[in-house]
Homo-oligomer: A and B are copies of this chain.
């Protein structure tokens, strides 16, 4: 079996979906993608594990990275794929059609259809996006081969229903620790109740007004939320500690360090432990190449670009100083759903927009 990159988008999407590639089992699909790209003589093809990178060397003076992951969440009796009718027109149905074999199909079709792009291109197809961050194939490439994924701008083909979504918020988690002193609850006046003490921490969260921040012309909406609380050791003991886990989603204009300082200041008087952190990504829509893509998409769909609120792999480019946008077929709310399906029109719009932009 081989992939035919010159097939129509529906055929190519379905062919990719019909090779199951749940995270950790991407070998077969990586081999197929590797083989298909190797058949295009104008691309240098590189390989690291189950990640495949292919790039032009046309001395264009600027380079665009086009990336997508090859893995999916587990199949839920939704393969093989089907072409179905719907009220909104034909859709490709099945696991991966949204997240994100549809986007991968668009990128692979571009590789075959655009041998002489106006910018040098690097296609990146990687493994293990749907699992723990430390297994992420793009993260591995960034760490091992930063030159393979370097460029002036990146487009990640994650589902956005054909809209251009720029950058992403950063995210960090802290534990806010409220101390107490244990005592038997029959003599509670001998103790200090840490859970009661947490009332002040929750009060500050309730009173907090998250910002909306304009970054490169897109508005990012921040959020500060308790995502967990725990305290208490037994039904007859005054709790000697209460821990509130807080998740801060911060606009990409703020660094991880600045974000942690902000949260630490908010919880002044308490121990604040950083448990994990990931930077946001600026959309870079103030740069000409991104503005050009935004104009093409707006021309095709009538829709302006918008900020990506959730953290995505675009942020992995941020560490390399590469602004990045999300742009791909399929409604993201259907990602991971049993009824996952992507309109054929989305596949077409994404392909046409990117082809127009890359050949302009």
Instruction: Give chain A's interface residues, CB within 8 Å of chain B.
Output: 169, 171, 173, 184-189, 193, 195-196, 198-199, 202-203, 205-206, 210, 221, 223, 225-232, 234-239, 242, 244-245, 247, 249, 276, 309-311
- Chain B residues near A198 (CB-CB < 8 A): 202, 229
- Chain B residues near A225 (CB-CB < 8 A): 185, 188, 193, 195-196, 238
Q: Which 5 A-B pairs have the closest CB atoms?
A: A228-B232, A199-B202, A186-B310, A195-B226, A188-B223
* A234 to chain B: closest residue by CB: B227
In contact, B239 and A228 (Cβ under 8 angstroms): yes
Question: Could you say which of B186, B205, B226, B310 contacts A232, with CB atoms under 8 Å apart?
Answer: B226
In contact, B245 and A235 (Cβ under 8 angstroms): yes
In contact, B223 and A228 (Cβ under 8 angstroms): no
CA of A21 to CA of B65, assembled, Å: 74
In contact, A203 and B199 (Cβ under 8 angstroms): yes
In contact, B202 and A186 (Cβ under 8 angstroms): no
- Chain B residues near A226 (CB-CB < 8 A): 193, 195-196, 231-232, 239
* A203 to chain B: closest residue by CB: B199
Question: Could you say which of B229, B231, B309 contacts A187, with CB atoms under 8 Å apart?
Answer: B309
A326 vs chain B, min Cβ distance (A): 13
A259 vs chain B, min Cβ distance (A): 14
In contact, A311 and B205 (Cβ under 8 angstroms): no
A222 vs chain B, min Cβ distance (A): 9
In contact, B185 and A227 (Cβ under 8 angstroms): yes
A241 vs chain B, min Cβ distance (A): 11
Known interface pairs A199-B206, A203-B203; A242-B229 also in contact (CB < 8 Å):
yes
In contact, A186 and B169 (Cβ under 8 angstroms): yes
* A311 to chain B: closest residue by CB: B186
In contact, B232 and A231 (Cβ under 8 angstroms): no
- Chain B residues near A249 (CB-CB < 8 A): 185-186, 188
CA of A311 to CA of B236, assembled, Å: 10
- Chain B residues near A206 (CB-CB < 8 A): 196, 199
- Chain B residues near A242 (CB-CB < 8 A): 229
24 chain-A/chain-B pairs, Cβ below 8 angstroms: A169-B186, A171-B186, A185-B227, A185-B249, A186-B310, A186-B311, A187-B309, A188-B223, A188-B225, A189-B221, A195-B205, A199-B199, A227-B235, A227-B237, A228-B231, A228-B232, A228-B235, A228-B239, A229-B229, A229-B232, A229-B239, A229-B242, A230-B232, A235-B276
